[in-house]
Amino acid sequence: MGEATCALPSAHPLTWDRGGGGARRPPDGLISELKLAVPWGHIAAKAWGSHQSPPVLCLHGWLDNANSFDRIIPLLPKDFYYVAMDFGGHGLSSHYSPGFPYDHQNFVSEVRRVAAALKWNRFSLLGHSFGGTVGGMFSCIFPEMVDKLVLLESSPFILESNELENMLTYKRRAIEHMLQVEASEKPSHVVSPEEMLQGFLKNNSHVGDECAKLLLQRGTTQVATGLLLNRDRRITRPEYYFNFISRELFVHSIRKLQARVLLIKATQGYYDVRRENDANMELMLFVTNSLRSILKERFQYVQVPGNHYVHMNQPQHMAGVISSFLLSKERIRAQL
């Protein structure tokens, strides 16, 4: 939506520098860029605060990157160590090895690898959109490791209710797309910064111009003739990679949660993974009612004005409630 704006650091033209000699200053409080070794290369991340403070791992949405949190983290309490990672094949992280497919569970395993590399035994998770579903699954598989789970425009899992007839087709298309890209000898497409920006905005209507530039700073590489996207071309539509689950499995899984959960929904956000059934809020009602019924006072639900990227476009709309949640020692009362 065109009215959404995002203040960028000063001296930032339409070309982007990822840190190799440019004048762009880092976001407020950023202390380091991290590079964590994994078998296929490295996972890149950026950190704010003292590593001696309680850790919060931030997980970005589909095809986004760690810059997704550049505007919200400076508004959150300084009492925590925030690490925003780039999922494999995104941002500055290594692409998966040839023949190794991208899959929801693999992204969940990346969270475990990051926690091991940073020697975290217990931490909180802050996930936007797809990052929230990764954090949700991780929190149920490794419940003893997660203290608090913050879901921004997300759900702990994606339910299969609207997708049963499509699920095998998604798996087929994911495999075919991967094989097609691996067999292709076409070089990556180089475009001008303006073309890159307009293409990004065309595919991301909820992102304002300045926030799009912020994501493209970390999501592109400057070459002599223009910009290249950093992300792995084998990654395509999110529904090809999600693990859709039944309502029964959803309820069984969230019973495993030990974390307190804050779910923040934007009033003009998304309710469907393919954006085709957004008028139908029944699934989200099932999710929130189930979480409230099972977690009781450990669950909090809040609506804020804004769209799917409200954490970037208007971070002040949710910074207060996230801050209170992270700082809370006592169990919190659920909100309608």
Which helix (H) or strand (E) segment is 167 a member of? helix 167-183
The three-state secondary structure class of 57 is strand
pLDDT higher at 76 or 165: 76
pLDDT at 7 (0 to 100): 39
Token pair of 185 as six digits: 């000898």
262 closest CA partner among 142, 109, 128, 144: 128
Does the pLDDT value for residue 125 go beyond 60? Answer: yes
Which residue reads 């899984």 in tokens? 253
Do 263 and 299 touch, CB atoms closer than 8 A?
Answer: yes
Does the pLDDT value for residue 113 go beyond 80? Answer: yes
- From residue 103, give the alpha-carbon distance in Å to each of 11, 106, 110, 234: 38, 5, 11, 11
| Long-range residue pairs from 174-181, CB within 8 A, at least 24 positions apart, any chain | 174/101, 174/236, 174/240, 174/241, 175/101, 177/234, 177/236, 177/240, 178/101, 178/102, 178/234, 181/233, 181/234
Q: What is the mean pLDDT of residues 122-138?
A: 97
What confidence tens digit (pLDDT) does each residue in 167-222 have?
Answer: 888 889 989 988 988 888 777 788 888 888 888 888 888 888 889 999 999 999 99
Does the pLDDT value for residue 12 go beyond 50? Answer: no
What confidence tens digit (pLDDT) does each residue in 244-268 have?
Answer: 888 999 999 999 999 999 999 998 8
Does the pLDDT value for residue 110 go beyond 70? Answer: yes
pLDDT at 119 (0 to 100): 97
pLDDT at 91 (0 to 100): 96
How big is the chain, counted in residues? 336
Does the pLDDT value for residue 316 go beyond 70? Answer: yes
pLDDT higher at 240 or 39: 39
Do 316 and 279 touch, CB atoms closer than 8 A?
Answer: no
Instruction: Identify each DSSP E strand in the chain by its residue range.
Output: 30-38, 41-48, 55-59, 81-85, 123-128, 146-152, 158-159, 220-223, 226-229, 244-245, 260-268, 299-307
How many angstroms separate the CA atoms of 82 and 69, rounded?
A: 10
Q: If you compute the radius of gyration of the chain from its CA atoms, what whole number of angstroms results? A: 19
Q: What is the mean pLDDT of residues 212-234?
A: 91
- Calculate what percentage of the chain has a pLDDT beyond 70: 85
- Calculate what percentage of the chain has a pLDDT beyond 90: 59
Do 135 and 127 touch, CB atoms closer than 8 A?
Answer: yes
Which residue reads 């097609």 in tokens? 180
How many angstroms separate the CA atoms of 114 and 102, rounded?
A: 17
Does the pLDDT value for residue 313 go beyond 50? Answer: yes
pLDDT at 16 (0 to 100): 36
Which residues are annotated as catalytic? 129
Q: CATH homologous superfamily for 30-327?
A: Alpha/Beta hydrolase fold, catalytic domain (3.40.50.1820)
Do 54 and 81 touch, CB atoms closer than 8 A?
Answer: yes
pLDDT at 120 (0 to 100): 98
Which helix (H) or strand (E) segment is 59 a member of? strand 55-59
Do 106 and 87 touch, CB atoms closer than 8 A?
Answer: no
291 closest CA partner among 313, 267, 259: 259
- pTM for the model stands at 0.86
How many angstroms separate the CA atoms of 171 and 30, rounded?
A: 39
